[in-house]
Amino acid sequence: MPQQRQADTWNASLYAETARYVAENGDVILDWLAPQPGERILDLGCGDGALTEKIRQAGASVVGVDGNADMVAAACERGLDARVTVAEDLPFDREFDAVFSNAALHWVLRAEAAVEGVQRALKPGGRFVAEFGGQGNVSAIVAALSEVLAARGIDFTAVSPWYFPSAEEYAALLVDHGFHVERAELAPRPTKLPGDISEWLANFAPSFVSGFSEQARIMALEETRELLKASCLTAQGDWIVDYVRLRVKAVAPIARCR
């Protein structure tokens, strides 16, 4: 079954309407970044630029990059410097005082290539601050999707676009590329959705069913929704997603690594 890249599926309007909470929950990692006036900062996986704009408001010069053209267009509409670029192939060389990323790096299966690009993009001693899905993230959704796909003869791990490392695993990857890791920690963050979980699946899980017919796609996602009722739907009718975020802060090497 051919798998569609997640970057090809984002819809900026749908995301803004149903998933604004992703950026709204970014205040903790923004505090870790602590952008300063005059700094030059790269926002890796900027989406529609909601947090990029906050970095600019702090007085920093910021460049946003994202793999999805629709998201980049939405960021540009905010007056931001945003460019279509994937995390695995960053073109920058010692340009930034900091690289920031929120809710993006769990979509990057080639994690080492992304870390190498971040290291190249940073000035010597620059900081890397990121938050993304970590070990155990959306475990109920993973279990439900695994069951639905297995019933159709599909191995979840073979088609999953998600990378959810442990704090120790990701810290080791950073150290291997010369970073000094100041913080790396998992933070459970159960999140109440503003609407139905079907909207979450439409935003974040379309690639799992991208090779299905329209009818088969609808049936598979509805089955997933039904399975999730037991673990994610409260008696009050609220949907809760079991997010676990990995937060990291690291300092780039003074000398070029590798």
Task: Identify the pLDDT of residue 251.
Answer: 98
Q: What are the backbone angles phi and psi of residue 172, rounded to the nearest 5°?
A: -65, -40
Question: Which phi and psi angles does 8 have, rounded to 5°?
Answer: -80, -10
Residue 51 CB contacts under 8 Å (≥ 6 apart), including other chains = 23, 26, 30, 43, 100, 102
Tokens coding 197: 């979980």
- Tally of domains within the chain: 1
Q: Let me know if residue 130 belongs to a domain.
A: yes
User: Residue 187 falls within a domain, yes or no?
Assistant: yes
Does any domain span residue 232?
yes
- Are 142 and 200 a contacting pair, CB within 8 Å? no
Is there a domain that residue 256 lies in? no
Domain that holds residue 46: 6-251
pLDDT at residue number 1: 41
Does residue 257 fall inside a structural domain?
no
Which pLDDT score, from 0 to 100, does residue 121 have?
98
Is the pTM of the predicted complex or chain greater than 0.75? Answer: yes
Rounded distance between C-alpha atoms, residue 227 and residue 243, angstroms: 18
221 domain-assigned? yes
Angle between helices 139-150 and 214-232 (to 10 degrees): 140
Mean pLDDT for each 10-residue chunk of the chain (258 residues)? Answer: 52 82 90 97 96 97 96 96 97 97 97 97 97 98 98 96 98 97 97 95 92 95 98 97 98 74
Asked whether residue 158 is assigned to any structural domain, the reply reads yes
Residue 57 sits in a domain of what CATH number?
Answer: 3.40.50.150
Domain membership flag for residue 1: no
